[in-house]
Amino acid sequence: MTETVSYINNSLKDYYPASEIKGFTRLIMERVCGLQPYQLLLGKGNELSDKEKAEIKEIVERLKKSEPIQYILGIADFSGYEFNVTSSVLIPRPETAELVNKIREDQKTALPLRILDIGTGSGCIAISLAKLLKQSEVYAIDISENALAIAKQNAKKLQAEIRFVQADILSPSVFESFREKFQFLSRENQNSSDWGFNIIVSNPPYVMEKEKAEMDANVLDYEPHLALFVSNDDPLLFYRTIARLGKQWLSPNGFLYFEINARCGKETKGMLKTEGYKNIELTKDFYGKDRIIKAQI
């Protein structure tokens, strides 16, 4: 076992910092060999099989090419849950977990809620909110059929009831298509207390094309560009579109929550004010960067 740990360390030392290699080692030994960290510390564990050795070697070689460990293993931890991930979806990140936590803290006394997650990807936001805000109705949109397939797997795996819709929010017909699907958005209900969503949340594409040069290979070469990038000429495209949809889809006094590009905090806040939103709140992440915006219709 010690020999295997040394092999991982020696193979990756020229590619990653020691702290990251330690994390990789823990994950590899846990997922491939079923060994918990304390067992490694105590030097416990049976001799590895040839199959396990071959699997570890393959993982190490893929790590050398900067492939994310989450894609290699097919799983990612998020908000206390384990999500399936493939290269069709973004890897869930701690900053996004902060967004989920903020919604939970803000809204935990307002249950039940009707929530819409736009650009759901792996389903990490929608599913986590469904688990954390019990009795809420949760809906999730994505343009990608492959992403929705992963999100549906995760919903089933984590026993969360989510209503998934494949849709392009940039399409002029998206609002009408939602009216047809959901009674609570019908014209008949427009003046009733049952109208609309209480919360719309989104972590849309927000990395500007010009920022590619600053990105690490593990993101740029492996994660889906459709979910990452937006034009330099209109970096607020998705936020502005969702804000305008929010004026049609949100219930009275409903909320928008966004994860944003740290470079565009003031601009996003200004856009929401121009679109008529109130009580706009910009929150920094644990790195001290503008990351979450909350606004009320």
Report the binding-site residues for S-adenosyl-L-methionine.
119-123, 142, 203
Q: Dmax over Cα atoms in the chain, in whole Å?
A: 69
Tokens 């009216």 sit at which residue?
A: 179
Query: Cα–Cα distance between 18 and 20 in angstroms, integer?
Result: 5
Amino acid 185 reads L
Q: Could you tell me the sign of the dihedral formed by the alpha carbons of 249, 251, 252, 258, in that order?
A: negative
One-letter amino acid of 265: G
Look up residue 225 and give its two tokens: 């560009």
Positions at the binding site for substrate: 203-206
Binding-site residue positions: 119-123, 142, 203-206
Our measurement of the distance from residue 78's CA atom to the centroid of its chain's CA atoms, rounded to an integer in Å, reads 9
209 and 232 Cβ atoms separated by less than 8 Å? yes
CA dihedral for 272, 273, 279, 283, sign (positive or negative): positive
How far is CA 198 from each of CA 15, 201, 247, 266, rounded to the nearest angstrom?
Answer: 46, 10, 12, 25
Q: If you write DSSP's letter for every residue of 164-204 in order, what string do you get?
A: EEE--TTSTTHHHHHHHH-GGGSGGGTTSTT-SEEEEEE--
Closest listed residue to residue 189, CA positions, set 248, 270, 113: 248
* d(C-alpha 256, C-alpha 293), whole Å: 8
CB atoms within 10 A of CB 134: 9
